[in-house]
Structure 1
Amino acid sequence: MGKSSKDKRDAYYRLAKEQGWRARSAFKLLQLDEEFNLFAHVSRVVDLCAAPGSWSQVLSRILIQNQKFGLQSWQNQEAHLRRQMLGVFADAPDQEAHASLDRTIASQHEASRPREEVKIVSIDLQPISPLEGITTLRADITHPATVPLLLKALDAGYDESKLDGQAHGLASHPVDLVLSDGAPDVTGLHDLDIYVQSQLLFAALNLALCVLKPGGKFVAKIFRGRNVDVLYAQLKIFFEKVVVAKPRSSRASSMEAFIVCLNFRPPMGFKASLEKPLGVGERLDAMVKERELQLPMIAPSRMQDTETGAWGQCLSSPVVGVDNLGITELDVYDDEDDAGQLADTTATTRSSTGTSIDKSTRWIAPFISCGDLSAFDSDASYLLPEDHVSLDPVQPPIAPPYRRAIELRAAQSKIVR
């Protein structure tokens, strides 16, 4: 009764079991890939906080086994049907058309073969059941010793003696994509949950900065809350494009979303290291101030006018001009014109009072809802067919942290009886 009830309440939980996924979160990554094409030209991936391994499953099936899902699957089916129709109903197909068709089929067969050059490493504190083509590590992503272990898993010939105490130039072959679907055990106190999740995000980011190649991608789970724009702006220091995405398989009632960071571009002279991680101490604040001098686009905080309800910003240098009539002028960052903004932000404007005002900008991350609108609603309940058989999870947790609590509860219930 319990399984059947959950199958009704959560369509993606039921689909995950039917399609062989270890968790419903696999659909979140698939929908993110449909929107951002995350796996294009990707052969080296690191999956952080990977247990029980649903995202690693997606990586294995798409990058190693060359399986197609979602839009690409439909496109392949349509192309296959079109080839069949052309082959059967063509009036007088010439030899060149046949040769072209044979080359297309041969290329598709070649593309469907398992790829050997792909390297995927999954890391988690909890043990992960083995997956085809996936190297699993049981390690702490916040510990500096994890970076050498990761680099050795990525490259068998990695020599730790060449590290020279620096964590940024050690990866002879950096990775193309870093994923993080980790989240803390929620307490129900939203402010606390958001803070802990932001620290987990910083831990994933620090590790990603050590192994990510220029132009790489970073995707991580976040909890949206007040002043989360500051976190987005901090990520904008390292990536050209930062987008907040909400997959359709993610419950609308949940405050979770995913931050998608594209085109990694570390600041000049930046050296990543877990010995001095970002988000701890004053290192990130110093980087933000330095970035403001180079390209003013990071606002330390935002303030709301209690009378007008308008949102402003507080920067180290004034950006708001107020004339004699009390009219406020505010410069807003345009994400569509990054190149032109370089010259504009260095200019100064002069208000009607005659005072010079530095022209700064404020950047707001775009929000995208991804996933097919005709797909299941993750918050809705659906009737099950009469012949429905509830399935067991594909991969139960190997060593769940709550196992000890269950054992203690069972022992106490026996004593009471």
Structure 2
Amino acid sequence: MAKEQGWRARSAFKLMQVDEEFNLLEGVTKAVDLCAAPGSWSQVLSKKLVENQQEGEQAKIVAVDLQAMAPLPGVIQLQGDITKQSTADQIISHFSGERADIVVCDGAPDVTGLHDMDEYIQAQLLLAALNITTHVLRPGGSFVAKIFRGKDITLLYTQLKVFFPKVTCSKPRSSRNSSIEAFIVCQDYTPPKDYVPNMGTPILDLAPMNADGTSNRTIVPFIACGDLSGFDSDMTYPLETSTGSEEYKFIAPVQMPITAPYLSAMEKKRKGFFHEQMSKK
């Protein structure tokens, strides 16, 4: 279905189903897509934001990723690190000094299969996304990010609740039930009084217990979203056309995968490239 509709990845349906449930993109004209490659979420934002444009107003979408990404019409692309102040400054410059209405992040690490490790790395990536979001999001704006639901996730919810009074964990139907993946939907950005965004320090390194010995953890609502009568992401379906009368024809991906930069670095390491460079010095 993603190929037939022209999406770069199946993940486009996840953002669309979250938006159907929470109506996040209504009236939005400035958006930031973090960890954007290959660009399916940027495609969804581009389609929705163009519909929101008023006369004399132009929607702007800034997509950020360490990897290169094939161009998308109406999307400004930045190849940069979301943990750097310079990246936040670049994003704001494209909005003429204003702030974004929404920040989304579908980034995830290459999973190892060790769930505790994967959950920890994903939590750190989410906090990095939250940190840059505090630099570029306007008060009242929304933040959506991928999250791995593990046993210690309530502490992460507590950190998000510091900045967003309304936090919900959502599971789109297009996300496999067998996966611990979910999406955290944070609404009405309200930073603490006198809070100054800072890239130099980890964001709110909270202890699991308060000073009085009570638990410093939060339970947030969980919502399953998407059409329950639609396709099941855990099922395999026969390759048939919508009418069922025509023979299925293979459709190539809209964008082929791009080799991750770290893979070439690992190959150079195996061949002794970095050792040779150090020896020359």
- Name 1:51's counterpart in structure 2: 37
Distance 2:152 2:171 in 1: 18
- The yes-or-no answer on 1:41 pairing with 2:27 is yes
Residues 75-94 of structure 1: pairs in structure 2 closer than 5 A: none
Matched residue pairs, number?
Answer: 262
Report the residue type matching 2:218 in the other structure. Answer: W
Report the residue type matching 1:267 in the other structure. Answer: P
Q: CA deviation at 1:395?
A: 1.1
- Name 1:378's counterpart in structure 2: 233
- Name 2:271's counterpart in structure 1: none
Tell me the secondary structure at the aligned position of residue 145 of structure 1: helix
CA contact (8 A) 2:157 2:217 kept: no
Post-superposition CA distance 1:337-386 (Å, at most 9, x none)? xxxxxxxxxxxxxxxxxxxxxxx996311110000101100001112226
Q: CA deviation at 1:396?
A: 1.2
Residues 9-408 of structure 1: pairs in structure 2 closer than 5 A: 15-64=1-50, 66=51, 116-155=57-96, 172-278=97-203, 284-285=204-205, 300-301=207-208, 314-318=209-213, 363-385=218-240, 387-401=247-261, 404=264
- Consecutive unaligned residues of structure 1, counting only runs of 5 or more, are 1-14, 67-110, 156-171, 279-283, 289-299, 302-313, 320-359, 409-417
Post-superposition CA distance 1:45-68 (Å, at most 9, x none)? 00000000000000111111x2xx
Larger displacement relative to structure 2 (384-393 or 35-44): 384-393
Q: CA deviation at 1:276?
A: 2.6
Cα 1:402–1:361 shift into 2, 3 Å: closer
When normalised by structure 1's length, the TM-score is: 0.59
Distance 1:175 1:112 in 2: 15
Tell me the secondary structure at the aligned position of residue 149 of structure 1: helix
Q: Aligned Cα RMSD in Å?
A: 2.4
Distance 1:115 1:56 in 2: 22
Report the residue type matching 2:249 in the other structure. Answer: V
Larger displacement relative to structure 2 (112-121 or 40-49): 112-121
Report the residue type matching 2:13 in the other structure. Answer: F
Distance 2:185 2:230 in 1: 22
Larger displacement relative to structure 2 (141-150 or 119-128): 141-150
Distance 2:263 2:247 in 1: 33
- Identity of counterpart residues, as a percentage? 55
Q: CA deviation at 1:129?
A: 1.1
- Consecutive unaligned residues of structure 2, counting only runs of 5 or more, are 241-245, 269-281
Distance 2:113 2:75 in 1: 34
Q: CA deviation at 1:178?
A: 0.3
Larger radius of gyration: 1
CA contact (8 A) 2:35 2:64 kept: yes
Distance 1:52 1:391 in 2: 18
- Name 2:273's counterpart in structure 1: none
Q: CA deviation at 1:146?
A: 1.2
Report the residue type matching 2:27 in the other structure. Answer: H
Cα 1:41–1:389 shift into 2, 3 Å: same
Cα 1:243–1:115 shift into 2, 3 Å: farther
CA contact (8 A) 1:63 1:115 kept: no
- Name 1:328's counterpart in structure 2: none
Structure number with the higher helix fraction is 1
Distance 2:56 2:102 in 1: 17
Cα 1:247–1:41 shift into 2, 3 Å: same
